[in-house]
Structure 1
Amino acid sequence: MVHVYPFRAVRPAPGKAEEIAAVPYDVVSAEEAREIISNHPFSFLRISRADALVPDIDPYSTEVYELSRNIFDEYREKGLFIQDEKPAMYVYRVYDADKTYTGIACCADTREYESGEIRRHELTRYDKEEDRTRHIDTMNANTGPVVLLHGAHAEIKNILKKVVEGNSPDMVTSAANGSRHEIFSITDSEILERLSEIFVSIPALYIADGHHRCKSAVNIVEKRKKDGAKVPEETHHVLGVIFAEDEVKVHGYSRLLTDLSPLTPESFLKKISDIAHITPYGEADRSSFALKPKIGGKEDHVFHLYIKGTWYECVIPHNPKITDIRGLDVSVLQEQILIPFLGITDPRGDPRLQYLGGARPIRDLMTKVDSGEFAAALAMQPVDVRTVFSIADAGGIMPPKSTWFEPKLLSGLLVHLLE
C-alpha cells in the first residue's frame, strides 16, 4: 500500500505563474539558465539554479545554496509567492500538442521509498544526489516534483475529471515548448479522504522522473536524524505528481557517438551487418520523434542508425532465452555493438557516448551529425510502461537513459515546505 498526503503549497501569487514557472533545474546548463533568467527576471531558475547567477563561484559552494534560499525568502516577502491556508492536493494538467496529461500533485512518503512501495528503475549518481540533498536541506523545501506512476485506475480518473469539469484553473502558464500547464486545487475533505483511501489500496508507485529528487528527500530525513534533531512528519513527505500509466507517454532515448574509433563509417556498418539485418531506411520524417520499424518484428531489437547522411534500420533477432534487462534494446545495443566494436564500456561516463532526450524530433539528431559535431546517431524505440513496472517490481535497474517520460513538468508552480 502507499500513502499520499495533502500539503499547504507555496505557489506563485495570482498572475505571477507565467513570470516564475521554469523548466526543471537538470534540463539546462548554467549558461542556458543564465540566458533564460536574462529574458525572464523572476524565473524560478534563480532559485533552482542559483549557480547561474554567480558564474565565478564554485556551483557546489555553500554560498550558492544559501543564495537560492535567500531569493526564495525574498520572493515570499515581496508577495511573489504565497502559501495556501489549507492543505490540499492539486490536479496538474498539461496540454501538449495532441496529448493531454492529468495527474495529482500531492506528497508521497519517503519511508515507502526505503521499504520498496515507491520503486525505482534507475541508479542515482552520487554527485547529483549530493547536490539536490544540499539544495533541499538549505531550502528546507522540495522545489521540484518527483513524477510517479501507478496502474490505470478508473475511479481516480473520474475524480480528477469531476474536479476540473466546469472549473477554471487556479494557475495557468505556458512552457517554452508550447505546452500549457494548469493547476486546480482540491480542498474538499471528502474527495481528499477518498483519494487517500484509494491509494492505500494501490500496491506501489513507480518513479518515472526525479530519481535524484526522491533519494535526496530520503537523505534529508537521515541527515537530520543523525544531527539529533526531531524530524517532523512533514519532513518525511516528498513532493510528487502522480500519473496513471495511461496518462504518460514514453519515448526512446537517443544516443550520439562523437567518433567511431578505431573504425571508419564503412567498417562500423560492416561489423553491425555481421550480427544484424541492416538496410537503408529511405526518406525519414524529420519532424517525427521516432522512426517506425519497417522490417523489424515486434519482438526484435530495433534501432536506427544515422551516419554519413543516411538512415539505416538495424534489426537484431529476438533471443527467447533472454527475458530480463539484458533483453532491452538499449542493453543489446550496449553489449553487442558499443562494447565490442567501439570499446565503450561505461555508458554513464564515457565522453564518446552522449544522449538526447526522446521528445526531440529526429532532425535534431541529423543536424548534430551533419554538422560534424558527432559521427553517428542512434534512435531507439520506446520501452513499454509495463516493462518499466516489471523491472522495478523485480528490483532491477535499467541501463542509463533507457526512457524519456512525458510530460515534463515545470518547477516553481508548487513548492512543499519540509516543516
Structure 2
Amino acid sequence: MSLIRPFAGLRPAPEHVAGVIAPPYDVLSSDEARVRAAGKPFSFLHVSKPEIDLPPTVDVHDPRVYEQGRRSFGRMLESGVLRRDAAPYYYFYRLVMGTHTQTGLVAAASCAAYETGRIRRHEHTRPDKEDDRVRQIEALNAQTGPVFLTYRHSAAIDAIARAATASTPDMDVTADDNVRHSLWVVSRPERIAALTEAFEALERLYIADGHHRSAAAARVAERRRVANAGHTGAESYNYFLAVIFPDDQMRILDYNRVVKDLNGLSPQALLARLDQAFEVSPEAEPVRPARAGEFGMYLAGRWYRLRVKPDRVPARDPVGRLDVSVLQDQLLTPVLGVGDPRRDRRIDFVGGIRGLSELVKRVDSGEVAVAFALCPTSLADLMAVADTGAVMPPKSTWFEPKLADGVVSHVLD
C-alpha cells in the first residue's frame, strides 16, 4: 500500500467556489458559524457545522446534527454545487496570507502508514472528539476536513510542484479573511506517477494539525475492513484526506497562555517567586519573545521579560525543553498551581493570530490575572518529538494560514 495515492475529488463547481469554501469546523463556534453562513445557502459550514441549521438548543452531538449535515451535503451534490472529478487526481493547493505563501499536495494518505507510525503524530486525542469525527464521516460517507501533514522538504517534489503550478489555477479565490486559496488539478499520468514515487521515497510524514480527523479516519477504516469480507486494501476507506506541505514553507505562530488568578499571590509576591527559575526585567513595550527560553508576561498593567535560567531546561529531553513545557513546569504548575492544562479551567490559550493586544485586553478587563507570550514552537522541535514517539503538551502549535473546508472532499466509495 502506497504512502499516498490520487483520488477522484469532490469539488465546488467554478461558479460556486466563493460561496462554498469555509473556515475549518474547529476554529468557529456555532454562533460564529451561523453569522459566517448567513445568506450563503451553499456554504460548507452547513455540512461541517450543521447545527447552525437547527435550533440553538440542540446539542452539537445530537444525532439530528449529523443527519442535518448529511442532508445539506446531499443537497449540494444533487444541485450540482459539488461535482466529482472523473478520475483519480492529485491537487496542488496554495495558500497566500499577506507576504506568506505555501503550496501543498492534496492527496489520500494511507491509514496503514498512520497506524504503523510512518505518518507520525505528536498529540494525544480525546475520545469524544474522535467520536464526533467518526460520526461525521459515517453520515456523509466522505472525508471533508483535510488533515494537515508536513515532511522534510524534497527537491524532487519541489520541482514537480513548480511545473504543475506554472499554469493558471483551476480554482482561485480570496476568502473573507483575505487569505487567497488556489488549486491546480494534477491530471497528467506521468506527473501523478512521479508524485507517488517521490512521496514513497520519504521516510515519513508528520501530522501538523488534524489528529482527531486522522484518528477518526483510521477507526472508520478498521470498522469497514472488519465488515468487508472481500477487503483488498485498495478501498477508499483505507486512506484519509490530507494536504501535505514541505516543512520549509510552514508558518507556526505563538500559542500563548492566560491564567485566571494568581493562586493566592499578590503581583509582587508572584514576581518574587519567579526569581528562582527566571531572570525578570520590566519592559516599557509589549514583549514578543524572539528566542527559545524567553517569555513575555503581562501582569497588573505592565510587561515583563522572563528568561529561564539554563539549568532549569532539560536540554536532552525533546519534550521537556520546549518553551510550552518550560513555562508549565517552572511557573504555571509550581507557582500558579495550574494542573493538567488539558483539564484545568483556570488556564486558557490564545492563538498568536490574535496578537499581543488580545493578552493585554483580557488582563485589563479583569477576565484573567496574568498573560504569557511564548516564542513559536519550531517545526524541527515538532518533528524531533514525533520521531521519538512522544507527544507534545496541548496547544503547542498554531498554524496559519488555515486550510479551508470544501475545497476538495474524499468520497468513500
**Whole-Å Cα distance in 2 between the matches of residues 406 and 72 of structure 1?**
27
5+ residue gaps, structure 2, are: none
Partner of 2:192: 192
2:246 matched to which residue of 1?
244
1:67 matched to 2:68? yes
User: Following superposition of structure 1 onto structure 2, how do residues 209-288 of structure 1 map, counting pairs within 5 Å?
Assistant: 209-227=209-227, 233-284=235-286
- Cα offset, 1:226, TM superposition: 4.2
Hey, what does 1:354 align to over in structure 2? Answer: 348
For structure 1, the residue ranges without an aligned partner over 5 or more in a row are 285-289
The number of residues matched between the two structures is 408
- Give the letter for the 1:239 counterpart: L
Please give the alpha-carbon distance, in whole angstroms, between the structure 2 residues aligned to 1:172 and 1:241: 17
SS across alignment from 1:341 = coil
Return closer, same or farther for 1:187/1:124 CA change in 2, 3 Å cut-off: same
How far off its partner does 1:143 sit?
Answer: 0.6
Counterpart code for 2:142: A
Alpha-carbon separation, structure 2, partners of 1:321 and 1:342? 21
1:291 alignment partner in structure 2: 288
Tell me the CA shift for residue 230 of structure 1: 5.1
Aligned amino acid, residue 397 of structure 1: V
Q: Which residue of structure 1 lines up, in the alignment, with residue 325 of structure 2?
A: 331
Q: What's the secondary structure of 2:105's corresponding residue? A: strand
TM-score (norm 1): 0.94
Contact kept in structure 1, 2:253 and 2:353, CA below 8 Å: yes
Letter in 1 for 2:396: S
Q: What pairs up with 1:345-384 in 2 under 5 angstroms?
A: 345-384=339-378
**1:161, 1:399 → 2: CA distance?**
36
Find the residue that maps to 1:326 and give its secondary structure: coil
Deviation of 1:227 after TM superposition, in Å, equals 4.3
Asked if the contact 2:143–2:240 (Cα under 8 Å) also holds between the matched residues in 1, the reply is: yes
Shift of 1:414: 0.6
Cα offset for 1:261?
2.6
- Does 1:48 find its partner at 2:48? yes
Separation of aligned partners in 2, 1:154 and 1:404: 26
* In 1, Cα distance between equivalents of 2:121 and 2:73: 30
Give, in whole Å, the separation in 1 of the partners of 2:314 and 2:258: 29
- Spell out the pairing of 1:108-127 with structure 2 (5 A cutoff): 108-127=109-128
CA RMSD of aligned residues (A): 1.7
Amino acid at match of 2:246: A
The Cα of 1:222 is off from its aligned counterpart by 1.8
Report whether the alignment pairs 1:417 with 2:386.
Answer: no
Q: Is 1:93–1:100's contact at 8 Å kept on the other side of the alignment?
A: yes
SS of the aligned residue for 1:306 comes to strand
Aligned residue for 1:80? 81
State how far apart, in whole Å, the 2-side matches of 1:37 and 1:105 are: 25
- 1:311 maps onto 2:312 in alignment: no
Query: Hey, what does 1:183 align to over in structure 2?
Result: 183
Q: What is the SS of the residue equivalent to 1:342?
A: coil
1-structure distance, mates of 2:222, 2:63: 20
CA deviations 1:81-110 (Å, max 9, x no partner) are 111112110010011111111111111001
Give the drift of 1:361. 1.6
